[in-house]
Amino acid sequence: MSKPLQVKVFRFNPESDVAPKFDDFEVPVFDNMAVLDVVIHIQNYLDRTLSFRFSCRIGMCGSCAMYVNGRARLACRTQVSSLKTRDITIMPLPNFPIIRDLVVDMEPFFDKWKKIKPYYVPRREMDEPVTVQPNSNEREFIDDMLDCITCGCCYSACSMVATNKDYLGPAALNRAYTLIADKRDAIRVERLKVVDRSYGVWRCHTQFNCAEVCPKNIVPTRSIQNLKRRCVLKKFGKFK
């Protein structure tokens, strides 16, 4: 891969532009180059006004999520070679309001995140330090779903988020599952009530887009299916 990359980047500065446009850049390739390196190169040497977010550059902070060649990905974790083409198109994450260029407004995402109270609330009457063994069945598959870095990839891939502005989205619902399924949590029932709404779990139609794009291999679909079952069981008087 010695030939340079042909990169199209979405540009929009609401303070000066009427409409968005694409800028073309030619970017030289080096070994193990990631998409993050591409935008950093553009910003350093070709156009200092290009705006984008990044921080840890090792897939932990979730800041650099972008829509690259048709899919939401973490720029720092996407090797240019994995795209298998020299033509790269970079856009901001879909389903989010755009602040500028590749920077999106994460507020709607976090508003929905907060709605499900995304933090463990301990029950008061606990004498023992550990009431659920980490490897017991009671943990279900919670531990597989805890690594969320709130990057927004799943939210941007979901077509129900695209069509319904109230839908809580895969990230919030997945986090809700990890807490509702946790026997130690004090407000599990309250949380279930929040997700048992038409803009909660019932909007999910098991398309799996979220699971396909998650950089942490979380499967929100699985969490949401489990929550649907819990909502039904609750109607029959059984809350597990």
Partner 1 sequence: MHAWTWVLQRVSAVILIIAVGLHIGFLHFSNTAEPLNYGEIVVRLKTPVLIVFDILLLIFGLYHALYGLYSVFLDFDSGKKERVVVLGLLVCVGLGIVGFGIFGLLSTRSL
Partner 2 sequence: MSNTHVISANAFRTRSQMWDATGMWAWILHRITGLGLVFYIILHTILMAGSLLSGKEDFDSTLSILMGHPLFEFLDILLLGTVFYHGLNGIRILLFDIGIGVRVRTQKSLFWIFMGVGAILWSWSILLKLGW
Residues near partner 2, by CB under 8 A: 10, 12, 14-15, 20, 67, 70-72, 91-92, 94-100, 105, 107, 157, 159, 162, 205-209, 211-213, 219, 221-222, 225-226, 228-229
Q: What are residue 175's DSSP bridge partners?
A: none
Least distance to partner 2 from the beta carbon of 176, Å?
17
Identity of the residue, 79 or 163, whose beta carbon is nearer to partner 1 in the bound complex: 163
The 24-63 contact track toward partner 1, x by CB under 8 A, reads ----------------------------------------
Lookup result for tokens 């129900």: 160
Does 176 contact partner 1 by CB under 8 A? no
Least distance to partner 1 from the beta carbon of 233, Å?
9
**Partner from partner 2, partner 1, none contacting 61, C-beta within 5 to 8 A by type:** none
CA 99 to chain centre: 18
Least distance to partner 2 from the beta carbon of 154, Å?
11
Distance separating alpha carbons of residues 16 and 30, to the nearest angstrom: 34
Q: To which H or E segment does residue 69 belong?
A: none
User: Among 126, 119, 240, 230, which residue's Cα sits nearest to residue 183?
Assistant: 240
CA 109 to chain centre: 9
> Are 146 and 119 spatial neighbours (Cβ–Cβ below 8 Å)?
no
- Choice from 48, 84, 165, 238 touching partner 1 (CB under 8 A): 165
> Are 11 and 52 spatial neighbours (Cβ–Cβ below 8 Å)?
no
Identity of the residue, 39 or 41, whose beta carbon is nearer to partner 2 in the bound complex: 39
Distance separating alpha carbons of residues 125 and 137, to the nearest angstrom: 22
Using CB under 8 A, count the residues that bind partner 1. 16
Distance separating alpha carbons of residues 64 and 164, to the nearest angstrom: 25
Does 191 contact partner 1 by CB under 8 A? no
- Choice from 33, 160, 168, 214 touching partner 1 (CB under 8 A): 160
**Partner from partner 1, partner 2, none contacting 14, C-beta within 5 to 8 A by type:** partner 2
Distance separating alpha carbons of residues 103 and 99, to the nearest angstrom: 6
Does 188 contact partner 1 by CB under 8 A? no
CA atoms within 13 A on the CB side of 127: 0
Identity of the residue, 123 or 229, whose beta carbon is nearer to partner 1 in the bound complex: 229
Does 190 contact partner 1 by CB under 8 A? no
